[in-house]
Amino acid sequence: MSTLHLTAPTVNPADLGKVAVLMGGTSAERDVSLMSGAGVLQALQSQGVNAFAFDPAERPLQELKAEGVDRCFIALHGRGGEDGTVQGALELLKIPYTGSGVMASSIAMDKVMTKRIWRFEGLPTPEWRLVANAHECEQALVALGAPMIVKPAREGSSIGLTKVTDPAQCAAAYAAAAQHDPEVLCEQFIEGEETTCPVLIVDGQAQALPVIRIVAPGGNYDYQNKYFTDEVKYLCPSELDAGEEAEIQREVVRAFKTLGCRGWARADVMIRKADRQPFLLEINTSPGMTGHSLVPMSARAAGLSYEDLCLTLLASPSLDNPAHPG
């Protein structure tokens, strides 16, 4: 069990200036983003921050400059929000923002590129194949073995994900993923316990927060269970062996640093039942902030309230190239 204890930031809300909470957007995760953004906005306003909602699907981003925005809290999820595109626009507008920069956001959104880098750096991640059609999906099943996970390479919240146990399922699984992304990832299924671990920059250092163990009905931790039911059990403290928790936290911090992330993120990790080996699945650089979301739960276990988590993130926004402020 983690002994980390975080303290509330000493921030004068007036010093934060005018804050836009970016939410909504055009990705498949729009509904989740609107829930995240509403929570963040309410939290910031309750702390006296001059914050307002801004939906890039409804207003061009250049209006942020016209509005005199001093910083942005990015509560966007999925493509067009956490894939480096909005971050690049904010760089050009010279408006500091929460979370990772252009390159880290772009890489982390692409599960295949993420896995390639992690593999190169010696971090454990399940075997995979990138496939272009249903036949290649069947070939991947032969190579990786059943069960196998089929999912879009650049989508979040388990959207378009299928667990395949038989070659007859490959065509439908490929089609389900391909409707969200032409790049489809087939990944070896790791039988075991599902966990997730946030990382937060604390005093300039990447710090792993307490691990959360996820127990889903029938092991089905899908989009519906993630956001719209109360069937999933989240254990925080995780009740894992202290050494196992510490190993997961070390790997997650390495994963965060390897991609050049900043601000915060949350990495998903499977613990293989056979030998208790942890495997990194993916990293989310704009984690959810809904009532079901996991970073707030983990932060709370470390002594940081939802409101203080929002203030912590907002107090240290950044730009890839801060040498030329607007």
Catalytic residues: 29, 157, 227, 266, 268, 282, 284, 288
Q: What CA–CA distance (Å, rounded) separates 3 from 286? A: 25
In this structure, the chain runs to a length of 326
Question: Largest alpha-carbon pair distance within the chain?
Answer: 60
Q: What CA–CA distance (Å, rounded) separates 316 from 266? A: 18
Nearest to 209 by CA among 241, 246, 244, 257: 246
Q: What CA–CA distance (Å, rounded) separates 90 from 7? A: 29
Q: Which residues pair with 278 in a beta bridge?
A: 271
Q: What CA–CA distance (Å, rounded) separates 262 from 256? A: 8
DSSP state of 266: E
